[in-house]
Structure 1
Amino acid sequence: METEIKIKKADLSHLQDIVSIINAGATSIRKDKEFDDWQEYRPAFEALIAAPEADIYVALSGDGDVIGTYQIHFLKGLAFKGRPRAELESVHVRSDQRGTGVGRLIMEHAEGLARAQNACMVQLTSNREREGSHHFYRRLDYDQSHLGYKKMMI
């Protein structure tokens, strides 16, 4: 199945599916804080794809269905002699596709983009409730090196 999967930059035609996938994976901190109408995400999506330091990607099945998504942001900083960091956000695989290799392909794709930008590291956060995701990232040699904090402003 993996050979049929294609990862490409998302476009507006993918937005409804992206919103569906990320909202389906919402944990307690986000539950009931997201919008039902996918069209309300359009301005944020358009701003994201227009930003030079960020992109959003989709994983497509052989039939063209959106089965996964992720965002990548390149952050500037002084550490590591100014090399950028690649930060992944909203890494999601459609629930019926988990365990099929889609997530691994997404992560390989993101790491390839990070290497191409000479990033010093790839970093991400994962909600503490997503234990399956934590196991997945550890299997891919990601180190849980930091303790993260968030303050919801909505």
Structure 2
Amino acid sequence: MEQNYRSILVPVDGSKNAEKALEKAIEIAKRNNSSLEILNVIDTKQFTNNFGGIISISGDVVYSTFETVKQYLEKLKERILKDGFNNVEVHARFGSPRVVIAKDFVDDYPIDLIVLGKTGMSTVSRIFVGSVTDGVIRTASCDVLVVG
């Protein structure tokens, strides 16, 4: 039995693996006449400095990062629209990528497929913190397709 997907989420981060996942998600969305939700999660851990238990977040750095992400997402959307696929939206969220992708975003939108790239982290990093992809596979409440 073939699965039909109505709403597809593809998280992107500018990596080659994310680009491959985006291309695959576009193919699936076209075949299924689905909506495509493109998401970039800005990991808030990257903005913190911990000095003696005091956490500091620079507003200028956060704003600059958000503006860069917004421009990146708008360029992706523009490229997809030029290729003739019109049912696409872009989103930027702050938080833990694993949680936002697998839980928060799926709770807010009727996502029935997540298409994401395989991890780009080193083996050592995966051992200690795990990959976003592994976390999404384990916790998502919908189908997940990992593109290699």
**TM-score scaled by structure 1?**
0.32
**TM-score scaled by structure 2?**
0.32
More helix by share: 2
